[in-house]
Amino acid sequence: MKITTIKLEAPYLVFLGDVGSDLDAKTGLGIAWWRAERCAGQMRFAGCPVDCGLPDLSVAAALSAGVRTVIIGVAPTGGRIRASWLPPLIEFATAGVNIASGLHHKLGDFPQLVAAAREGGADLIDVRTPPSGLPCGLGKKRSGKRVLTVGTDCVVGKKYSALALHVELSRRGIDATFRATGQTGIMIAGEGIAIDAVPADFIAGAAEVLSPDNRPDHWDVIEGQGSLFHPSYAGVTLGLLHGSQPDALVLCHDASRREILDVADHYPIPPLEDFIDRVLAAARVTNPHCEFAGISVNTTTLNDADRSAYLANLEQRYKLPAVDPVATGMRRIADYLLRSRGSSRSAT
């Protein structure tokens, strides 16, 4: 079975609209970071505090710049498209500019937008549409190697860590593939399966389809979703753990996070040892030999000295390499991964 493949025509305009925080703009920020060379600019409504570091463009300026695809860079809880976003999107579609969205709310649900796209000859691309006919998971052992990023919460760097680890492995000549499981990752990679849009019974099967049999030394670097400790999104995490059959896990964490995001009551982030134990227990249902290969931490709230001390403390306590994927890179986790699981090209 083929996974979802998309082709986004550059240059892009990252649409931020009236998003109020970086956490809700992770799609736009991710596209701007990993595909900056394909981005012409961003569009923000008055008062929007989020900045992807791209030029601010109006509809007219974006058309003059030759923008070919508007990417909705907003990912709020619930995944709804706001009515206030429609006027500029309709303008773009009427002018023949494609619109790409990874939200649960489909672009095709808006008759005015559909009519504008038909008039202008634009494509409306809903990235969060999984392939049809996905199987249930079988739990059959597959050839090749797999590493999955898992998080103590949502929005703690699972996608970024997976992308950065893939870049590091590829730099060394390791045969590796980034496997996207969310809307931003799919738009960056051009293919993948939006795991959180898959019915629950088929999540493990989707993960098996996403990371099929491969060469013995090939690494699938699989983007994680949700968190096993999140009251809303633990199910998608568990399905990925079982279906991916990871040989190794990378624990992703935010040094400043104390409570689980977007829940009504206060759910504290558990001690990391509790998280490690429970995630390993879940992963070992389908791969008894799964182990953690490192801890990847967002330390943007810490200064250099505090960051070094924080990471050193994690390493001493958990006997795993601890890094910030931006400040220090993924080199040490790649070293540990290749030493522990073996590779024909493990040199740094």
pLDDT in tens, 280-302: 999 999 999 999 999 999 999 99
d(CA 333, CA 149): 12
For residue 111, being part of any structural domain is answered with yes
Residues 91 and 167 in one domain: no
Residues 170 and 100 in one domain: no
d(CA 275, CA 43): 39
pLDDT score, position 347: 46
Say how many residues make up the chain: 348
For residue 133, being part of any structural domain is answered with no
Domain count, the chain: 2
For residue 131, being part of any structural domain is answered with no
Domain limits at 80?
A: 4-126
Residues 39 and 103 in one domain: yes
Residues 301 and 154 in one domain: yes
The H or E element spanning position 116 is helix 111-120
Under 8 Å CB-to-CB from 39, ≥6 apart: which residues? 10, 11, 12, 13, 14, 31, 32, 52, 54
Q: How confident is the model at residue 346 (pLDDT cuts 50, 70, 90)?
A: very low
The count of other CB atoms within 10 Å of the CB of residue 346 is 14
Residues 290 and 221 in one domain: yes
d(CA 122, CA 66): 14
Residues 163 and 309 in one domain: yes
Give the tens place of pLDDT for each residue, 146-184.
Answer: 999 999 999 999 999 999 999 999 999 999 999 999 999
Give the tens place of pLDDT for each residue, 172-222.
Answer: 999 999 999 999 999 999 899 999 999 999 999 999 999 999 999 999 999
pLDDT beyond 80 at 267 = yes
Residues 121 and 149 in one domain: no
Domain boundary among 98, 126, 154: 126
For residue 137, being part of any structural domain is answered with no
For residue 135, being part of any structural domain is answered with no
d(CA 3, CA 54): 31
Give the tens place of pLDDT for each residue, 300-341.
Answer: 999 999 999 999 999 999 999 999 999 999 999 999 999 987
Judge if the upstream peptide bond of residue 11 is cis by omega within 30 degrees of 0: yes
d(CA 102, CA 122): 17
> Across residues 1-24, what is the average pLDDT?
88
Residues 122 and 223 in one domain: no
For residue 140, being part of any structural domain is answered with no
Residues 197 and 161 in one domain: yes
Domain boundary among 65, 91, 126: 126
Residues 257 and 318 in one domain: yes
Residues 116 and 149 in one domain: no
Burial of 250 (0-12, 13-18, 19+ CB in 10 A): buried
Give the tens place of pLDDT for each residue, 40-96.
Answer: 999 999 999 999 999 999 999 999 999 999 999 998 766 789 999 999 999 999 999
- Say which amino acid occupies 43: M
Residues 82 and 205 in one domain: no
For residue 46, being part of any structural domain is answered with yes
pLDDT score, position 343: 57
CATH of residue 93's domain is 3.40.50.720
